[in-house]
């Protein structure tokens, strides 16, 4: 009976095109964005076009060297939770570096970016009794889960719609505790939040702000500290959340804020207290990558230059980038789950190009897409190869080109 229930739900996923299948990609050190499939010896390399390793820092020699040195000194694992034997000296260096980067008093590192959102929001909304949370409708699953797992009353405002947010805020008493949660860059649409306006509303209506900067960290702002930094408004954000699994190129999440807020999360968040800490090699690599990116604009500049080259190539080929995109994230609209999945398979099998189909429920039905991310490591030849392959795929699957339909999102 129990297995039948699960099989029925899995079958429904498969019929709707929502069933996830993993592609085994074996990245080749020193040759990013190239990777090999299962047959390491004989397979042709594929070009990865959808990695979150936005700056290629996972392959950077200084990062790899730092990881090797930490393994040689400390071994592989951390040995326990932060409270029980798992706080090695690399943590102090990393958390101090993160706090300084964002202009905050303190920072706290978690094993994952998902965990830092989930645990922090659950904890904070539990500590602030009768707090109402206001959340953007397109916030990440980790944010949604953290809010849902609390008992806090919540209001969802339309995506990046500050007028709707204010309508919701003004209905609450000024004295009531409030938290506004939003992202700087939204990962599936590539758009940027109206951060200054949200901060203005937070001050007007006596609310705290929680900003997820995971898709901006390393790539935007002063020394790569994010969109808020570039707007010179980081100091007005109460909690900045980030990840080290994307632009930084490793893994791990963090929050940065005032000492009392960070200490409260450290002391009360079960998702932080009762989990094993990151190993020394990971923390050392994260610290090294961040310190490098604080002082190097090379990777950022190359990323943005290559992004414009790819945009131009797609534009000339009439490949439809969704109108929402204003960053390095280029969502290419397919608009059909079955076609999106089949097209991705053919790109891999015929053209040695890896693009992951993005279907519902990650994005709304009818907006299925490829989420294309270039890196500083992609070549002009690879840009041409991708563009030509997409032209052929669009023709084969009768996917409309730009000009044949309205591109929304």
Q: Report the DSSP pairing between strands 34-36 and 46-48.
A: antiparallel
Domain's final residue, options 294, 323, 349:
294
pLDDT at position 173: 98
Does 238 reside within a domain?
Answer: yes
Q: Three-state DSSP class for 367?
A: coil
Give the pLDDT of residue 15. Answer: 85
Catalytic, out of 36, 104, 178, 246: 246
396 is an active site residue: no
* Residue with token string 């949660």: 181
Determine what percent of the chain is predicted with pLDDT higher than 70.
98
Domain boundary among 259, 294, 329: 294
pLDDT at 403: 77
- Rounded Cα distance between 49 and 84, Å, is 41
Could you list the residue range(s) of the whole structural domain that residue 91 is in?
61-294
42 and 95 together in one domain: no
In this predicted structure, what is the pLDDT of residue 145?
Answer: 97
Is 172 found in the same domain as 132? yes
Strands 106-110 and 34-36: unpaired
CATH number of the domain within which 340 lies: 3.90.1150.10
The pLDDT score that the predictor gives to residue 232 is: 98
- Give 276's contacts (C-beta < 8 A, 6+ positions apart): 77, 78, 80, 81, 86, 111
Q: Read out DSSP for 75-135? A: -S---SBTTTT---HHHHHHHHHHHHHHT-SEEEEES-HHHHHHHHHHHHHHHSTT-EEEE
Pairs from 15-18 (Cβ < 8 Å, separation ≥ 24): 16/337, 16/360, 17/337, 17/338, 17/340, 17/341, 17/359, 17/360, 18/337, 18/359, 18/360, 18/361
Both 169 and 222 in one domain: the answer is: yes
The last residue of one of the domains, among 243, 260, 294, is 294
- Whole-prediction pTM: 0.95
Residue 406 lies in a domain: no
pLDDT digits (tens, 9 = 90+) for 134-169: 999 999 999 999 999 999 999 999 999 999 999 999
The reply to whether 282 falls in a domain is: yes
Check the CA dihedral 275-279-282-284 and report its sign: positive
Q: Which two tokens stand for residue 239?
A: 């909690």
Low-confidence ranges of the chain (pLDDT < 50): none
């Amino acid at each position: 009976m129990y297995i039948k229930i699960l099989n029925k739900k899995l079958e429904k996923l498969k019929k709707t095109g929502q069933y996830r299948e993993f592609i085994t990609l074996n990245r080749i050190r020193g040759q990013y964005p190239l990777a090999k499939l299962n047959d390491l010896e004989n397979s042709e390399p594929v070009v990865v076009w959808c990695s979150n390793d936005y700056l290629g820092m996972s392959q950077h020699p200084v990062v790899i060297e730092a990881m090797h040195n930490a393994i040689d000194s400390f071994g592989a694992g951390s040995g326990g939770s932060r409270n029980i034997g798992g706080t090695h000296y690399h943590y102090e260096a990393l958390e101090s570096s993160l706090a300084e980067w964002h202009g905050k008093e303190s920072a706290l590192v978690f094993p994952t970016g998902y965990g830092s959102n989930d645990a922090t929001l659950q904890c904070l909304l539990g500590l602030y009794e009768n707090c109402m949370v206001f959340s953007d409708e397109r916030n990440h699953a980790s944010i949604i889960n953290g809010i849902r797992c609390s008992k806090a009353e919540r209001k969802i405002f339309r995506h990046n719609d500050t007028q709707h947010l204010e309508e919701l805020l003004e209905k609450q008493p000024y004295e009531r505790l409030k938290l506004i949660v939003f992202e700087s860059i939204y990962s599936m649409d590539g758009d940027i939040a109206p951060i200054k306006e949200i901060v203005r509303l937070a001050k007007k209506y006596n609310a705290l702000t929680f900003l997820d900067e995971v898709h901006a960290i390393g790539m935007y702002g002063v020394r790569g500290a994010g969109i808020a930094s570039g707007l010179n408004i980081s100091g007005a954000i109460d909690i900045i959340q980030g990840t080290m699994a994307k632009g930084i190129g490793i893994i791990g999440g963090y929050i940065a804020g005032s000492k009392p807020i960070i200490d409260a999360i450290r002391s009360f968040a079960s998702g932080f207290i009762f989990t094993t800490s990151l190993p020394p090699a990971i923390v050392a690599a994260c610290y090294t990558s961040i310190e490098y990116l604080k002082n190097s604009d090379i990777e950022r500049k190359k990323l943005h230059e290559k992004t414009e080259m790819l945009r131009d190539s797609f534009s000339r080929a009439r490949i439809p980038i969704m109108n929402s995109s204003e960053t390095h994230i280029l969502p290419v609209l397919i608009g059909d789950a079955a076609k999106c999945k089949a097209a991705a398979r053919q790109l891999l099998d015929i053209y040695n190009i890896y693009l992951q189909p993005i279907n519902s429920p990650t994005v709304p039905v009818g907006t299925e897409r490829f989420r294309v991310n270039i890196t500083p490591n992609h070549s002009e030849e690879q840009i041409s190869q991708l563009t030509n392959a997409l032209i052929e795929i669009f023709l084969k699957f009768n996917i409309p080109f730009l000009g044949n339909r309205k591109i929304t999102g």
